[in-house]
A and B are shown apart, each in its own frame.
Chain A
Amino acid sequence: MSEIIFKRPDALEDTVFSYCPGCTHGISHRLIAEIIDELGIEGTTIGVAPVGCSVMACDFFTCDMFEAAHGRAPAVATGIKRVNPDNVVFAYQGDGDLASIGMAETVHAATRGENITVIFINNAIYGMTGGQMAPTSLPGQVTQTSPFGRDVMQAGYPIRVVELLSELDGVALAQRVTLDTPKHVHEAKRAIKKAFEYQIAGVGYSIVEIVSTCPTNWGLSPQDAFQWMRDNMLPYYPLGVYRDVKAEGFDNIHDRAADKRERLSCGKDEK
């Protein structure tokens, strides 16, 4: 009797992705779907899809889905999770969505320690609108709206999201991964799975940044795009774990904050 060892994850619809050839949205989607299958949470998971290329994610996952306004996914996910604490809620956001228009929602959901999981796709460019400069575009990077290369004197510097969020007390897991090699794909899957597991265990806010490619708007072949990413993005956005409260020996964000005497309070004790 033969055994199936590789198949389409149940958490993915039997449909064709609308992403460009060589784009890593497809791999990212597949990893999330595999993890939903492995954790057996399809029925309780609610996804929030952003504005941007992955806006059609609602069509691809088999769990209940929300489409959110540009940048507002963390707020929408907060509303979902607060009234449904037993559900697993993930937001799937690009760099323009998360690090530009939605930065306030991102920082505050993280600092509140919202028990949600954010998958952050960083390809250093606005994809769907046709390749404009993103908050994560690199110094010197040519885009439609930085035709002479991003000039930091004029446009400022790229934002390192997981480094920034890892300073916040509400963050349980902040990790940066990429998908250019099988080894990196496995690492990414472990990170995303941990992010979901932390949420299920109530550890706190978890974010996994996936350094990604945009062959279409970078004007490169899929292979050259990966090389460009390795040569240019990874030095600016180093892979690694920037916050992991369990690795630090704490069960959740509140234990960590209390231990560090960071939870300073004033006024009355809780009655």
Chain B
Amino acid sequence: MSEKVLMKGNEAIAEAALRAGCQCFFGYPITPQTELAAYMSKRMPKLGRVYLQAESEIAAINMVYGAAGTGARAMTSSSSPGISLKSEGISYMAGADLPGVIVNITRGGPGLGGIQPAQSDYWQATRAAGHGDFHMIVLAPSTVQEMADEVYNAFEIADRYRTPVMILGDGMLGQMMEPVSLPQEKTEKTDKPWAADGHRNKRKKNVINSLFLKTQELEDKNIERFERYEIIKENEQRAEMYVTDDAEIIIVAFGASARVARSAVDRARSVGIKVGLIRPITLWPYPTKAIESVVDRAKKFLVVEMNMGQMVDDVRLSVAGRKAVDFFGHTGGIIPTPTEVFEQIERIAVEKGDE
């Protein structure tokens, strides 16, 4: 590992993407992710790689589709309203089994919403990133270091499973500065025999396509993809477990919320409350195994998010009715404070005592 440098989250993503061998970046300005595009516009041409500011988010994701289809490591970034526009292209990428990295540095919504940090794209990212039967892998870093590490990882798993991968951070993570050790430069290329980069009369032609007019063909294609999703669910789900070994109250929080929750857990522990934190790193596949590992001992779950409670569904599915699941959060761009979360933990601890 190289020595640490102080970087903004958005810039750490950009630099790590360069080191992961990202050959092209297509973007469109939107707050609060713009530093990422700015960094790319400065560095990519000097490395002989492609930076292009597209005319819209829709064009940008379709440029990613074209570049990725020729086997290049391609990337785009945006924020919530821009991701809505990209959802068309994400669906087509999934339909054509194309790898690619989409960074979403989220803000509040719906509509134009605001520009302050929020996590209200959870449903969009994990449930409906576009039309049709598909998933994409969603990674949720909670530090600047992780933003660098996860974007590097995102390119690897995108290629491995031939699927779009989203880095879901929020405006706070994108804008904050922290020391970061940058990953090593990746030099070896991934072999992509499916790529349509000109057959040079050396192989059969390749077609990048998501259209299957024969019903059975489309169903077969979707079944094959969902078999791949089962492998992804088995191999890729990840979560950080923080003092969960003896915990009776389990907080589940990701990204910036998890940082707040962790402070609240430390304070609650200091007054003797047995509380722990599960921080999902993969939002899809959801780390159900992590929840399964504590569900028998836990008395209650508390989900903390910067939205109206979107991840609660996934926690409830994992808990499967065995324990109660509470929610605390803010929306609109308000970040919950550690004190607010601590008060929730205290409330639950007292309720627990009443049982």
Contacts and interface: CB of A to CB of B under 8 A. Distances in A.
Query: Do chains A and B interact in one complex?
Result: yes
A251 interface: no
Contacts of B54: 75, 108
Given A64-B198, A79-B64, A82-B24, A105 B59 contact: yes
Interface in B172-210: 196-202, 205-210
Task: Give the bracket for the number of chain A residues in contact with chain B.
Answer: 20 to 34
Interface in B42-97: 50, 52, 54-56, 58-60, 62-70, 72, 74, 88-89, 92, 96
Interface of B: 23-24, 26, 50, 52, 54-56, 58-60, 62-70, 72, 74, 88-89, 92, 96, 196-202, 205-211
B207 A69 contact: no
17 contacts: A44-B198, A46-B70, A46-B196, A46-B198, A61-B205, A63-B198, A64-B206, A65-B208, A67-B208, A67-B210, A68-B66, A75-B59, A75-B63, A75-B66, A76-B65, A79-B74, A108-B59
Contact of A68 (B62, B70, B199, B201): B62
B24 A83 contact: yes
Contacts of B205: 61-65
A117 to B, nearest CB: 15
A75 B53 CA distance: 12
A143 interface: no
B159 to A, nearest CB: 15
Given A80-B69, A104-B56, A75 B197 contact: no
A42 B63 CA distance: 23
A67 B62 contact: no
Interface in A3-46: 42-46
Given A79-B74, A82-B24, A84-B197, A72 B207 contact: no
A46 B200 CA distance: 11
B197 A64 contact: yes
A104 B55 contact: yes
Contacts of A61: 205
Contact of B66 (A78, A104, A107, A108): A78
Nearest to A89: B66
A76 B66 contact: yes
Contacts of B64: 79
A112 to B, nearest CB: 8
A80 B70 contact: yes
A79 B207 contact: no
A64 B196 CA distance: 5
Contact of B198 (A76, A84, A105, A108): A84
Given A58-B207, A63-B205, A72 B200 contact: no
Contacts of B206: 64-65
Nearest to B51: A82
Contacts of A79: 24, 26, 62-70, 74
B70 A83 contact: yes
B207 A75 contact: no
A44 B60 CA distance: 24
Contacts of B26: 79
B182 to A, nearest CB: 24
Contact of A67 (B23, B67, B202, B207): B207
A48 B65 CA distance: 12
